Structure 1
Amino acid sequence: MPVRSSGFARQGWLLAVGSFATLAAGAAQAATPGLSGEKASFPPFDPAHFASNLFWLAVTFAALYWLMSKVALPRLGSILEERAETIGRDLDQATQMQAKAEDMAQAYEKALAEARKNAQGIAQTAREAGAKASDAQRHATEAELAAKMAQAEATIAKTKTKAMGNVRDLGSDIAVAIVAKLTGQAPSASEASAAVDQALTHG
């Protein structure tokens, strides 16, 4: 900011010098006789007042230069410097906030990707567990049905054997009765049983 202050001081000094040159040129022009031979009567342009005018011009110029260089320009420079620092801080804060926002966005995307991955893993595990449970239930059901079928077959075979024994005994009795009625002589139990067994085997 000192560079700006010195620049403003040079501009003020050049302005004062220009004003001084303008006044001097006006005074010189006023001191020159006009075409009509009359001299200007305006007091500031009267040659008799040149010395005092130049003195007060120099005093005014020095006071203005001192005021501009020591008071106005430093205050203006400090204001501009403070504003530049404020803008710089705001820009830095904006950059930091943008960086934080980008970091938060990246963290959110990462968390979202991990959540999706975890959800897919959980779904796959659930599917596998469901398939295993279904297979186990199916095997258990098949084993239960096989056991019931074997038990039923055993019951049927036992019932059939018992029924065949009853049929054999009943057939033997019937055969003895029929032979006794036809021939008048009853065969032995062994002969009747052998005849019934033969008939059942060939039947």
Structure 2
Amino acid sequence: MAQQQIDAHTEVAGHGGGEGGHASFPPFDPNTFGSQLLWLAITFGLLYYIMSKVALPRIANILEVRRDRIASDLGEAERLKRETDEAIASYEESLAEARQKAHGIANTARDEAKSHIEAEFAKVEADVASQISEADKKIAAVKDAAMGEVDAIATSTTSAILEQILGSSVAEKEVSKAVSTAKAN
């Protein structure tokens, strides 16, 4: 009875799967293992040949080109970095020279301004000294004139005082002589 069930089951599976009446899945059928292994070896060999002769050399070529491009780009970047460093050094040198030149110009301008101010100061000082000298001369002249009149004023004042005190006029020669004597002492 068990054998009938297995045969029935095989028939049902065989009829449900198609017209061939095979009872198992074809890749797992032991009758076709040899041909499957042969076609697997042929396909693998052909795929290996195509990959080694066509695809892998192309990939290797692409990798070589990329490696060369990267090396070239790195070399270019290094060259540009050197140029940039040189430009920065040149800029800093020019900046230092400009600062030094500006400092020199400022010192020159300061020295010129100082000498100009000193020259103007000397000129003004000379003008002031000249004006003071002339003022001293005028003062001396006025003083001399005033001193010359002092004798006359002293004489006339003394005459007026004596006339008031004595009630009579005194001779002008005597009053002048008395003023000169008083002035000398």
TM above 0.5 = yes
Residue 167 of structure 1, CA deviation? 3.0
In angstroms, what is the RMSD of aligned CA positions? 3.8
Q: Please tell me whether the aligned partners of residues 155 and 172 of structure 2 are also in contact (alpha carbons under 8 angstroms).
A: no
Residue 198 of structure 1, CA deviation? 4.6
Number of the residue aligned with 1:85: 68
Deviation string 1:65-97 (CA, Å, 9 cap, x unpaired) is 542343112211211111112111211221122
Q: Please tell me whether the aligned partners of residues 158 and 175 of structure 2 are also in contact (alpha carbons under 8 angstroms).
A: yes
Number of the residue aligned with 1:114: 97
Residue 108 of structure 1, CA deviation? 2.4
| Aligned with 2:55 (options 51, 61, 72) | 72
Evaluate the alpha carbon distance shift between residue 79 and residue 181 of structure 1 in structure 2; reply closer, same or farther with a 3 A threshold.
same
Q: Please tell me whether the aligned partners of residues 159 and 175 of structure 2 are also in contact (alpha carbons under 8 angstroms).
A: yes
Number of the residue aligned with 1:181: 169
5 Å-filtered alignment, 1:1-203, equals 41-45=30-34, 53=38, 57=41, 61=45, 63-64=46-47, 66-170=49-153, 181-182=169-170, 187=173, 197-202=180-185
Q: How many angstroms apart in 1 are the aligned matches of 2:69 and 2:151?
A: 120
Gaps of 5+ in 2: 1-28
Residue 64 of structure 1, CA deviation? 4.0
Deviation string 1:130-156 (CA, Å, 9 cap, x unpaired) is 332332233223222211111111001
Residue 42 of structure 1, CA deviation? 3.5
Evaluate the alpha carbon distance shift between residue 117 and residue 186 of structure 1 in structure 2; reply closer, same or farther with a 3 A threshold.
closer
Number of paired residues? 152
Q: Please identify, of 77-86 and 136-145, the stretch whose mean Cα deviation from structure 2 is larger.
A: 136-145
Q: What's the TM-score, normalizing by structure 2?
A: 0.61
SS at match of 1:153: helix
Evaluate the alpha carbon distance shift between residue 101 and residue 186 of structure 1 in structure 2; reply closer, same or farther with a 3 A threshold.
closer
Letter in 2 for 1:116: R
